[in-house]
Structure 1
Amino acid sequence: MTEYDDQEFDSKSKTQLKNEMQDLQKLGEKLVGLGPAALDKIPMDQELSDAVKLAKRIDRKKEGYRRQLQFIGKLMRNRDVEPIQQAIDLLENKHQQATAQFHKLERLRDDIVARGDEAIDQVMERYPTLERQKLRQLSRQAQKEQQQNKPPKAAREIFQYLREATE
């Protein structure tokens, strides 16, 4: 057996290590870019929290800011960054989730206006707390407004009612 056979084949190349360090530094930049309320939701220890707060105070055009980001990346090497990454992903995805919910409610509303009682039955199965009679009345008003080319006041009311019921 040679000395080469005994070495681990798992060792990472310099490039892989450098890329991992850059990823940690980018994660640190995201932390620095968050507001105070969002930072409170991120699970991190006091040392890392202090380093992030210091980086926020340093002028971004100065060399000290770059070095502080490198220091944050160095601190993160010794920590489990998975919970931090998950918390940041959750914060970034809130807007996308809200937009998806908005579009879902719009589709439900359009479906209720177009198909009437059949769509209302499906919505009632999904949201049993809604009032069927109110939905039917608003649906009929919305259809009537569509036929008369009036502004969609009832359709807006359906949307508001669905949004209130799903929150």
Structure 2
Amino acid sequence: MNIVGDSEHFKQPFDHDEDYVSRAEAKREIAVYQELGVKLVSLSKSQLIKLELDELIYDNVLKTKIIKINTEAYRRQLQFIGKLMRNIDIEALQLEIKNVLNQNSNESAKQNVAEKLKDQLLTEGDSAVQALVEKYPVLERQKLRQLIRQSNKELAKTPDQASKAAVELVKYLRTEIAE
């Protein structure tokens, strides 16, 4: 065997291996999983439930929430979550997280619209009810007037407390007005 002329001897192991992943590439991939783990930890419990995560990942994300941030234990727990997520479809999970976050912003926007409408109804009275019913025919005029009247009575008695009828009015507006 001629060592000098043997070109196969000097070839690297990854020259023929298509599945070879460099160390730097593997670290970049692991960092992506850990960043996704950080996103998961930042979500609320109700948002996590909407994601329908694997039970092991879900439990470990909840455990991470009780660990102090900027500690070694927190860092290790995030690494472990990253390791657990190597077996899932990362693109699908990122899309689900985006949808959950977008859904929450839509919900808060609906809440803000309903709150503004409630304030307008309480201050302007029947003229605002008429305009709202014309814009949204699904609303019941009688129910709106009843909730407004009850809310104004409650606010007259205890102006510093939130009115139960006003909360009910906001709920009614949120459920009936779909924008």
| TM-score (ref. length: structure 2) | 0.51
Q: C-alpha offsets along residues 56-94 of structure 1, whole Å, 9 cap, x if unaligned? A: 110113210011001100111122333322210112233
Give % identity: 39
Match of 1:62 in 2: 71
State the distance in 2 between where 1:93 and 1:23 align: 21
What's the offset of the Cα at 1:100? 10
Question: What are the ranges of 5 or more consecutive residues in structure 2 without an aligned counterpart?
Answer: 1-6, 111-127, 138-173
What's the offset of the Cα at 1:99? 9.8
Match of 1:144 in 2: none
Match of 2:120 in 1: none
Match of 1:21 in 2: 30
What's the offset of the Cα at 1:7? 1.5
- Structure 1 counterpart of 2:20, from 11, 18, 38: 11
Count of residue pairs brought into register by the alignment: 117
Residue 38 (1) aligns with residue 47 (2): yes
State the distance in 2 between where 1:68 and 1:6 align: 36
Residue 92 (1) aligns with residue 101 (2): yes
State the distance in 2 between where 1:49 and 1:73 align: 12
CA RMSD of aligned residues (A): 3.5
| TM-score (ref. length: structure 1) | 0.54
User: Would you say the 8 A contact 1:43–1:84 is kept in 2?
Assistant: no
Question: What are the ranges of 5 or more consecutive residues in structure 1 without an aligned counterpart?
Answer: 102-152
User: Would you say the 8 A contact 2:51–2:100 is kept in 1?
Assistant: no
State the distance in 1 between where 2:102 and 2:49 align: 17
What's the offset of the Cα at 1:17? 1.3
Q: How does 1:12-161 map to 2 (within 5 A)?
A: 12-94=21-103, 161=136
